[in-house]
Each structure stands twice: as structure tokens, then as C-alpha cells.
A and B are shown apart, each in its own frame.
Chain A
């Protein structure tokens, strides 16, 4: 790599290939890949969409670590050729494109969606306004930032070895809803977890590589704490924060406690 050009070593389906593209100020790995495809090799395949670290589709191994091509600037990488490869431990579809379906299925299988027990809430007019305190929001917000790029899955040593382990992406998704005070599905997810929590060796690499600052290792620790509290009968109740009136927004922490049962519109 010189100041005028960037050299990229790319692990392609057909074998490793080396490319050299003109370097531009603020150039990202994605910019370099686009330059290659537009001017040198239109057969090079990778995924990308938003170009701003939101969609997660351009995740790949960059200089040995999983990351997003769109938010990795060439200038931040060590001197020498930029080494690109598909995400590790995931089935390669072509060149830098991997199949993340299994990781997504594992996430979906654990019930990573809002669960409410009261069926009346799904009826017409049954919905109301949920209010959360800033503290409650902070409890799950970082896990909601997950863009499902699967960089954490590629970095996880357990996911690499044990195909039954759902992976950090799925477990962070579980904690995202378990920590949400509106949710009432923690018990169901606990049953679905199987012995997934035993699989994490706390290497912490998932948290280090996450391009969105999500901490899946923390999510797994909190899930373990929740399992222990659940076994001891100390798990806190969730949900029941539906208010019939008022505008959405966070309540102060000293706000009156919400009722222990869902309050539906028209009820007191």
C-alpha cells in the first residue's frame, strides 16, 4: 500500500487474488471494492446496501477480524496490503458473500420478538401507549442496535466449533427482549435456550468486533444471571406497562409505579 494506491488481497471462491486501486481521501474498504468491480474485475462478488453501517450486509473479514467494509477506512488499517476474506465459520456462497440464514434462524427460534400475554391487546382498540423510564430504556437499548451482520458469530470460538450453539447474535437478541419491561416472554425464551448459555466461554471477541458497539458477552452474562434468579424464584415480573392515556415518552425514574396488570383503554 502506498499513499497513491491500495493493494487488496482478496480470498475469492476461485482462490486468492490481488488488486491495486487508486487511493482517495477517506477511502473505505467498500470504496476500494467498488473501485475494483467498476474498473478492474466485474466478477468480484460481495454484499452491500446502505454504505453507512446500518444494513450490516457488507460484513467480512478485514485484516483477520470481522468488520463492516463500509465503516472501515483504509487509513485505519495497518500498513501493507489489505487482506479481505468472507466471514469465518459461515458457509461461503461466493467470494465474500456468506450465508447468514442459519444464524438468523437461530435468532428467530429463540423468540426474539415482543411477547405479550394479554390477547386483548391485539384486538382493535386494544393497543395503548407504553411508557418506559430512561433507566428501563438503557437496559436494553444497546442490544436493539444489533444490525444482524453476523460479525460476532464469525468471531465466536464456540459458534465455530459447536453448530448447536445459537451464537452471540441470537443471544443478544434474546436479551434485547428479556430486558424490555414491556415484554413477558422471558420464561418462554428460557425454555428455548436449551443449554446455549453453557456454550459461551466468555472469550469476549463478539463484543470486540461488533461494529455497532453491542456487547453480546454482557447479554449472555445477564441471561445467565436471569437463569439463576429464575431458578431461585427471584426473577422480576415483566410487562404490564400499557397506559390508556398520555403521549409516548420516557417517564422519570421517580414516576409512580405502573399497575401490575395490563391496563387496557377504557379501564381504570
Chain B
């Protein structure tokens, strides 16, 4: 993402991370208060993996986190390095984060498919 929308996308992704991470923290650490039972038990994990909504949320969180973190890191490199070097590093960063997103998504989808089988 570049141009005038980069800041907007970064802020939107931050808001999404806040909501999804909040849901994650509430689920994993307030489980007793919320009556969610033993969320770390294998059956609970497997049940969440079977849920398409949960898998979608994981992928969304991964994407939002990479987008927000990636755009932030790109700004840091632009201020830290010379313009040409920053452009090279940022291109590499985009490729690496893109690849990690694909791997993370494949892992989540594979787990979802495996748990449902």
C-alpha cells in the first residue's frame, strides 16, 4: 500500500488488531470470568479450529497485524536509511511479510480442514 491511503490503511488495520486482539485476550485470559471453560484443552482448540469464523478471524488478525506492522516498519526504514536503500529494504519487507502471510493462512486453513476431517 502506498500513497495517500497508507496512513488510513495503517490506522484501520490498527483498529482491527485492537478488536481482534481484544477478543483473543478475553477468550484466552478471561475464560473463567466469561464462562468459556478450559480454552487450552485439546477439544476446545480443535473446536475453534473447526469453526470457519474462527479461522477467518485468525487470518484477518494475521493480515491486519502484518499490514500495520509492515507499514510502520516501512516508515521507520524510510527515516533510518537513505532513500534508495530504504526502497530496497521495503520491497524485501513486503515480499517477506507477504510470504509469511501466505504461510500463516495456509497453516490456519490446513488446521481448519484437518480438524474438520
Q: What residues of chain A have their CB less than 8 Å away from a CB belonging to chain B?
A: 158, 161-164, 190-191, 193-195, 197-199, 224, 227-228, 231
* CB neighbours of A224 from chain B (8 A): 7
Pair A195/B79 contact, Cβ less than 8 Å: no
* CB neighbours of A198 from chain B (8 A): 6-7, 10, 71, 75
Q: What residues of chain B have their CB less than 8 Å away from a CB belonging to chain A?
A: 2-8, 10-11, 71, 75, 78-80, 83
A85 CB to nearest B CB, Å = 23
Pair A191/B4 contact, Cβ less than 8 Å: yes
Provide the bound-state CA to CA distance between A231 and B80, in Å. 30
* CB neighbours of B3 from chain A (8 A): 194-195
Among A161, A190, A191, which residue has its beta carbon within 8 angstroms of that of B79? Answer: A161
Provide the bound-state CA to CA distance between A11 and B7, in Å. 39
Pair A161/B80 contact, Cβ less than 8 Å: yes
* CB neighbours of A162 from chain B (8 A): 78-79
The SS class assigned to the B binding surface is helix
Provide the bound-state CA to CA distance between A161 and B75, in Å. 11
Pair B6/A195 contact, Cβ less than 8 Å: yes
The SS class assigned to the A binding surface is helix
Q: Say whether, besides A162-B78, A164-B78, A190 and B8 are in contact (CB < 8 Å).
A: no
Provide the bound-state CA to CA distance between A167 and B3, in Å. 16
Q: Say whether, besides A163-B83, A199-B75, A228 and B6 are in contact (CB < 8 Å).
A: no
In the A-B complex, the 7 residue pairs with the smallest Cβ-Cβ separation, listed nearest first, are: A198-B7, A161-B79, A195-B6, A197-B7, A162-B79, A193-B4, A231-B8
Pair A227/B79 contact, Cβ less than 8 Å: no
* CB neighbours of B8 from chain A (8 A): 227-228, 231
Q: Say whether, besides A161-B80, A163-B83, A227 and B4 are in contact (CB < 8 Å).
A: yes
Residue of B nearest to A231 (CB): B8
A156 CB to nearest B CB, Å = 11
Provide the bound-state CA to CA distance between A162 and B74, in Å. 12
Residue of B nearest to A162 (CB): B79
* CB neighbours of B80 from chain A (8 A): 161
* CB neighbours of B71 from chain A (8 A): 198
Can you give 17 contacting A-B residue pairs, CB < 8 Å? A158-B79, A161-B79, A194-B2, A194-B4, A195-B2, A195-B3, A195-B4, A195-B6, A195-B7, A197-B7, A198-B7, A198-B10, A198-B75, A199-B79, A227-B7, A227-B8, A228-B8
B100 CB to nearest A CB, Å = 22
* CB neighbours of A231 from chain B (8 A): 5, 8
Provide the bound-state CA to CA distance between A86 and B10, in Å. 36
B40 CB to nearest A CB, Å = 38
A106 CB to nearest B CB, Å = 15
A144 CB to nearest B CB, Å = 24
A188 CB to nearest B CB, Å = 11
